[in-house]
């Protein structure tokens, strides 16, 4: 079968190659991939790929081989969150990382759900009750930002979204964001929660907007620049809590949370923001576009 694999150093970051079909463990289904999405974290890994690693954590398609241990049968449409290898015609996925799709949710929409959706859902869970709380969200125009904004606003939070241009924030307003700012320094007032994923100078600037006993959720570093903090910067968050967040740290299995995301989408309470949909042959082009901040929300590739 065909799959995208990391390219040679100094050449194209990924190349299409002929690889072996998946050999599933007893607890794995094999999914014929119809669509997948690209995550920023995967673009980082492509710069220095681990040995034998292949990209692809977000897929949707049809089960072509059931697991020995149960789970969805052959022919069921599913969304899945494999460890790797999903930018391919087929991928093996543990049944605990798969959710069945209703007819109303397309594979293109579903492919945009796993990593970004799981992260947003688990961030919401980490924050506790949100009604009436003010949240400052940086890097808001990406995949995580759109889901997080809609889920938080749906619970009554007031979300201030930091985006580079009004165009990149347009849908965030439709999904319930209270206001947009194009620079974190322009965010006014005191925030109960800051959710930060850009790093560099954005980190301390966002921290300084915190309520004295606010919560700072640190969930990424899209700029690749580690933040520097000054203890004696008393502008905000004087006695705040700083939590480093990883979506992997969850007591609820991926499959269950994927099913929750699918239910919310089917009910019209959560929307995938898919900035671009292209044939999977254009994967290298979309990787470049994502890195260059040209894609709002998620980029989805369809396997033809």
The least distance separating ligand NAP from the CB of residue 290, rounded to whole angstroms, comes to 6
Q: Is 251 in the site for ligand NAP (CB under 6 A)?
A: no
Looking only at the bridges linking them, the beta strands covering 241-244 and 274-279 are unpaired
In 3D space, the residue among 140, 246, 235, 147 whose CA is nearest the CA of residue 195 turns out to be 140
The least distance separating ligand NAP from the CB of residue 238, rounded to whole angstroms, comes to 25
Q: Is 223 in the site for ligand NAP (CB under 6 A)?
A: yes
Closest CB to ligand NAP among 66 and 261? 261
Q: How far is CA 235 from CA 196, 206, 244, 272, 298, in A?
A: 17, 10, 21, 36, 35
Of 245, 270, 272, 300, the one binding ligand NAP (CB under 6 A) is 245
DSSP result, 136-203: EESSTTBHHHHHHHHHHHHTT-EEEEE-SSHHHHHHHHHTT-SEEESSGGG--S-EEEEEE-S-TTHH
| Contacting range for ligand NAP; rule: CB under 6 A; set: 10-18, 48-56, 161-169, 235-243 | 161-169
Q: Is 203 in the site for ligand NAP (CB under 6 A)?
A: no
∠ CA(179), CA(181), CA(184), 5° rounding? 125
Of 3, 40, 261, 272, the one binding ligand NAP (CB under 6 A) is 40
Of 35, 80, 210, 222, the one binding ligand NAP (CB under 6 A) is 222
Q: Is 293 in the site for ligand NAP (CB under 6 A)?
A: yes
Other CB atoms within 10 Å distance of the CB of residue 12: 11
* End-to-end alpha carbon distance in the chain: 13
Number of residues that bind ligand NAP (CB under 6 A): 27
The least distance separating ligand NAP from the CB of residue 262, rounded to whole angstroms, comes to 19
Q: Is 219 in the site for ligand NAP (CB under 6 A)?
A: yes
Of 6, 55, 86, 145, the one binding ligand NAP (CB under 6 A) is 145
Which residues partner with 276 through β-bridges? Answer: 299
Q: Which residues bind ligand NAP (CB under 6 A)?
A: 39-41, 115-116, 119, 139, 141-145, 163-164, 168, 197-198, 219-223, 245-247, 290, 293
């Amino acid at each position: 079968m065909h799959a995208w694999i990391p390219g040679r150093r100094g050449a194209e970051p990924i190349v299409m190659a002929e690889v072996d079909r998946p050999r599933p463990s007893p607890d794995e289904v094999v999914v014929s991939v119809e669509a997948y999405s690209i995550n920023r974290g995967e673009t980082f890994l492509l710069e220095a790929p681990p040995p034998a690693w292949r990209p692809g954590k977000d897929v949707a398609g049809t089960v072509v081989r059931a697991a020995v241990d149960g789970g969805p049968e052959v022919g069921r449409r599913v969304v899945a969150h494999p460890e790797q290898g999903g930018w391919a015609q087929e991928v093996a996925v543990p049944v605990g990382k798969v959710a069945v799709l209703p007819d109303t949710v397309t594979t293109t929409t579903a492919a945009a759900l796993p990593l970004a959706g799981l992260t947003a859902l688990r961030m919401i869970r980490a924050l506790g009750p949100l009604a009436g709380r003010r949240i400052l969200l940086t890097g808001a125009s990406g995949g995580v930002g759109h889901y997080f904004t809609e889920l938080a606003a749906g619970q009554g939070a007031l979300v201030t979204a930091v985006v580079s241009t009004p165009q990149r924030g347009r849908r965030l307003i439709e999904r319930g964001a209270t206001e947009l700012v194009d620079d974190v320094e322009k965010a006014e007032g005191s925030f109960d929660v800051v959710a930060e994923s850009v790093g560099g100078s954005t980190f301390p600037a966002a921290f300084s907007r915190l309520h004295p006993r606010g919560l700072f959720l640190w969930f990424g570093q899209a700029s690749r620049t580690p933040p520097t903090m000054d203890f004696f910067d008393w502008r905000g968050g004087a006695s705040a809590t700083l939590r480093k967040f990883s979506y992997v740290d969850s007591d609820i299995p991926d499959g269950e949370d994927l099913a929750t995301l699918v239910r919310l989408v089917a009910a019209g309470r959560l929307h995938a923001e898919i900035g671009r949909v292209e044939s999977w042959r254009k994967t290298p082009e979309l990787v470049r576009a994502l890195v260059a901040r040209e894609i709002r929300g998620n980029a989805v590739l369809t396997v033809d």
